[in-house]
Chain A
Amino acid sequence: MSLGALGLGAPQPVGFGERIWRINWGLVLVLSAIAGIGVLALYSAAGGRFEPWAARHGMRYGIALGLALVVALIHPKVWLALAWPIYIVSMLMLVAVDVIGKIGMGAQRWLVLGPLQIQPSEIAKVAVILLLARYYHGLSRDQAGRIFYTLPPLFIVLAPVGLVMIQPDLGTAMMVLMGGAALLFVAGVRIWMFLGAAVAAVGCLPFAWSFMHDYQRRRVLTFLDPDRDPLGAGYHITQSKIAIGSGGLLGKGFGKGTQSGLNFLPEKQTDFIFTTFVEEWGMIGACVLLGLFVLVLMWGFSIALRSQHHFGRLVALGVTSMMFLYVFINTSMVMGLLPVVGVPMPLVSHGGTALVSVMFACGLLMGVNVYRDAQLPLGR
């Protein structure tokens, strides 16, 4: 299959101006609105100050948005070509973090490169999406449905999941696993295989339990029964629920959140930023924020469905699923529906790597739209 052969029936070459036009500026607006909510919430979490979080968050978002726009204008064939290198580099970084990573929050998650602190697991999320998309781009529907062809992607997904689990970072591992599963699902892996995997997973639960760290077990137990130890491990969940619940329908008002303002909330600038926001803005605010995310998801699905090439579809859907998982796991966690596993709220939580990787992913998503009718080699 040569590039020339793809010329048949191809649309007119797309000019640079047209490409700029094709960037989903509406989506950019929605993303910026979400990041704006982040700035607002971080400002409030710092007790009505831009320092230390809100200002940096806004600045980082600006930079990340620039990056996303650049990424959006890069031809998918480049990503197709870079999928493996990116994946391999991110795997190496995960190994490095396990070996020499800095100890933070009782888990090794960061890699220090000069002035930068990088969280390789965030990069791994994108790397897995790219590589899976590239892999299935080269398979026919029949092949995708065969068990033999499902083994490599299984490895592609499980390798980073394993490495992240070692850190240990249960949240990211879950996200990569579920994000990978979503991609495998839309790529055409047979449904019975998922059922089989689910049964196997349940079978493995006792083993997983024995491999878990104490604090993880505590979190799971606490999640199952938060009243077990309301001032110990259940403290975070209880206080978060109090904050959200006391916010009521309309919230306590901007800057008037007592729970976060008085430090009853842990990690209020990162994992519990949703709580901080919702305490002050109430259910109305929560629905606005979730609504904005739903808009992002809808954009994602629509881009995926409109892509003329399979790589684009899979990348778009992978990014969308990642976005969904972020939002879903984070909100469920702070509302006491899932154990506290350390997943931030995308674009709202304070934290550089996650912000950059989310915006990078959004750049890829918009790139799919920009190059929706690109002709791609199957790359096998």
Chain B
Amino acid sequence: MTRNRKGDGERSGLFTRRALLLGGAQAVLISALVGRLYQLQVLETRRFATLAEENRINLRLLPPSRGLIFDRTGEPLAINRNNFRAMATSDRGRGAEVVVDRLDQILNLGETDRGRLLRELRRSRNAQPVVVRENLGWEEVARLEFNAPDLPGVFIDLGQTRDYPEGELMSHIVGYTGRVSDEDLNGRDDPVLSLATMRFGKKGVERSLEDDLRGRAGVVQVEVNAVGRVVRELDRSEGQPGSNALLTIDLDLQRIAAEKLAEHKSGSVVVMDVITGDIIAMVSTPGFDPNTFARGITQTEWRQLLDNPERPLNNKSIGGVYPPGSTYKMVTALAALESKAIEPWTVLPCNGFLELGGIRFHCWLRGGHGGLNVQGAMAASCDCFFYEAARRAGVDRIAEVAAKLGFGKVSELGLPGESAGNQPSRGWKQEKYGVTWQQGDTFNLGIGQGYMTATPLQLAVMTARIANGGYEVHPNLLLAKATPREELAPPPPRDKPNAPSLRFNPQHLNLVRQGMSDVVNSALGTANALRKDSKGKLLDPALRFAGKTGTAQVKRITEREREMGITQASLPWHLRHHALFVCYGPVDAPRYACAVIVEHGEAGGKTAGPIGRDVLVETMKRDPSRHVDRFKKMASR
């Protein structure tokens, strides 16, 4: 018993010593814990606080709503439509595959979309959302919401998509928007462009006015949880919506022009105010539906547009280049008169051809016109007269006048895809072909053939500058623009050109205009039939107009072929001549100019002429430049 007690005493003493040792060790370790707490919570707390904020707070840019585009009467051409889209975020692609698989089941993404989505998710930084699918229907929205618990990082976002109510009719002018490309970013450092939902103007006015239409981004500070879901909004600064724009286009006239052109496979009509330079209508057929781009074009649709031989994506009004043919004769005439190479009364002979170094340059009229002065030669479109007039004036004078009238360079319209055409000159030929300019080249240039090419817009500009008395008007598509806070309204009408004069002799211009008037209004004129309307009724004197026909050679029919009975009509479509017509009216107080090209339309007077007449007459009737009262105020936003 005693031994036991004593034994317990020994045990107890050892226990006490060792227990105290253990307790001491524990005290040391707990002090270490407190030390660690001190290190984390006092010494390094700032760093961790910052990290926690970075975890928690996400800056998100609010895409500004894009400016709207209207025609001159206030009809909407490009508007924004609400768009429910599925967005996804993931932290550098963590768990992305699972989510994408589930999305695939719900939305039927398809292989290409899946791949794109995975790529974008892996690339996205700071949990910046990427677009899964745009324009969701109600059913799809419901299915996504229903499955939300299985779709971490996926959310529905109410955004805006571009809608083009006029579709194909305005496709080339308004253009369309698309995802921002690297090329678009060039020189622009607007952070909003990094947003996945942001759209950038790709064609047409959407492109040329991009920086006005885009607006400024707002910023919202949101608190997000670990999977990037927004928990609440902390701060918001609204951006500024893009400016709205009024175009110079008159939608009714645009529609009429398109209808007239619709009888032919492809072509272009440009109507321009000769005083202000406003483009009243500008049609290029065929067009395309820009809404397919807004919606997201499919590969097949894209291929079809690209492979179409009538090139619907090309705006032929500004991008198509054609030999101007006889419509160029105004340039030759003016150059010859201005350089005193001919006088208004100079009569030049025409036997049906001119011979130069053994080569015959034919007049379109077999047998010739006999002899004509400049006014008569223009009315009858005598080629021989203009061969000789060109020869006398020389290529340099012609090129000089042509440049003044707008040939050979891109206009100030600003639309992408505009071509400069080609105004040949001595230097140009030397540089391009290493060959000196020949007299024959001057002959060809004199009747707008050979190396000479121009766009329908350039022809309209030329006609306008002749019609307005020699003022350097520039084509213009933007009537007015205003931020959403300002009022958008057309400027007051203007009746005098404010462009500088081109300093042509008024008498010479008058003579050229007389010639153009005779084309339509004199019995000699090549487009004499156009003095009557489509129903055969003589035009109202107030609507009488002047014009010039042209036929641009695509394939030269050789003597041999002619003997074999080959005519233009028997050639395949793509080899037939282009038909051209330029005109302005009213003949006494010119206000509107119009240029028409019907691709492979064979003869200017026959196919292009009636279109030009109808469109020009309609334009004069409506007189959109003076009737600003037709402008309807848009419901503000």
Partners in one complex: yes
Please tell me if the beta carbons of B40 and A244 are within 8 angstroms of each other in the complex.
Answer: yes
Question: B52–A241 contact, CB under 8 A?
Answer: no
A263-B226 contact, Cβ under 8 Å, with A247-B41, A249-B41, A283-B37: yes
Main secondary structure on B side of the interface with A: helix
- Interface size of B by Cβ–Cβ distance < 8 Å? 45
Instruction: Give chain A nearest CB distance to B16 CB in angstroms.
Output: 6
Q: How large is the interface on A (under 10, 10 to 19, 20 to 34, 35 or more residues)?
A: 35 or more
Q: Which of A12-20, A331-339, A341-349, A362-370 contacts B (4 or more CB under 8 A)?
A: A331-339
Nearest-CB residue, chain A, relative to B41: A283
Query: Which of A146-154, A185-193, A214-222 lines the interface with chain B?
Result: A185-193
Q: Name the A residues within 8 Å of B15 (CB-CB).
A: 186-188, 304, 310, 313-314, 317
Q: When chains A and B are docked, how far (Å) is the Cα of A246 from the Cα of B49?
A: 4
Given A249-B42, A262-B225, A310-B8; A286-B37 close (CB under 8 Å): yes
Instruction: Give the distance in Å from the alpha carbon of A50 to the alpha carbon of B48 in the complex.
Output: 29
Residues in chain A near residue B56, CB distance under 8 A: 258-259, 262, 264
A378 to chain B, nearest CB (A): 8
Which of A5, A283, A304 is in CB contact (< 8 Å) with B19?
A: A304
- Complex CA gap A284/B203 in Å reads 64
Instruction: Find residues 24-68 in chain B having any chain A CB closer than 8 Å to their own CB.
Output: 26, 29-30, 32-34, 36-38, 40-42, 44-45, 47-49, 51-53, 55-56
Are B14 and A188 touching (Cβ within 8 A)?
yes
Which A residues lie within 8 Å of B18 (CB)?
Answer: 185-186, 188
A242 in the interface (beta carbon within 8 A): yes
B508 to chain A, nearest CB (A): 79
**Residue among A187, A262, A283, A309 making CB contact with B42, cutoff 8 Å:** A283
Q: Does B185 contact A (CB under 8 A)?
A: no
Tell me whether B55 and A335 are in contact (CB under 8 A). Answer: no
B48 pairs with A141, CB closer than 8 A? no
Cα A282 to Cα B22 in complex, Å, equals 29
Contact present for A245 and B224 (CB under 8 Å): no
Q: Which residues of chain B are near A239, meaning CB under 8 Å?
A: 55
Confirm or deny: A290 has a beta carbon within 8 angstroms of a beta carbon on chain B: yes
- Which residues of A have CB within 8 Å of B427? none
Chain A residues within 8 Å of B599, by CB = none
A141-B14 contact, Cβ under 8 Å, with A242-B51, A258-B55, A287-B34: yes
CB–CB A317/B37 < 8 A: no
Q: Find B45's partner among A182, A245, A314, A332 (CB 8 Å cutoff).
A: A245
* Contact A317/B40 with A141-B10, A262-B231 known, Cβ cut-off 8 Å: no
Contact with A321, one of B22, B32, B231 (Cβ below 8 angstroms): B22
Interface residues of A in 313-329 (CB under 8 A from B): 313-314, 317, 321, 324, 327-328
Contacts of B19 in A (CB 8 A): 186, 301, 304-305, 313, 317
Q: Which of A242, A278, A286 contacts B55 (CB 8 A)?
A: A242
A231 at interface (Cβ–Cβ under 8 A)?
yes
Beyond A5-B1, A328-B33, 18 additional contacts (C-beta under 8 Å) are: A141-B10, A186-B19, A187-B15, A244-B37, A246-B53, A247-B41, A249-B41, A258-B223, A263-B226, A263-B227, A278-B41, A283-B41, A286-B37, A301-B23, A314-B15, A332-B36, A337-B33, A337-B36
A-B residue pairs in contact (CB < 8 Å), sample of 15: A231-B91, A245-B48, A247-B45, A249-B45, A259-B56, A262-B223, A262-B226, A262-B231, A283-B38, A309-B8, A327-B30, A331-B33, A332-B33, A335-B33, A378-B4
Binding site for A on B (CB under 8 A): 1, 4, 7-8, 10-12, 14-16, 18-19, 22-23, 26, 29-30, 32-34, 36-38, 40-42, 44-45, 47-49, 51-53, 55-56, 91-92, 94, 223-227, 231
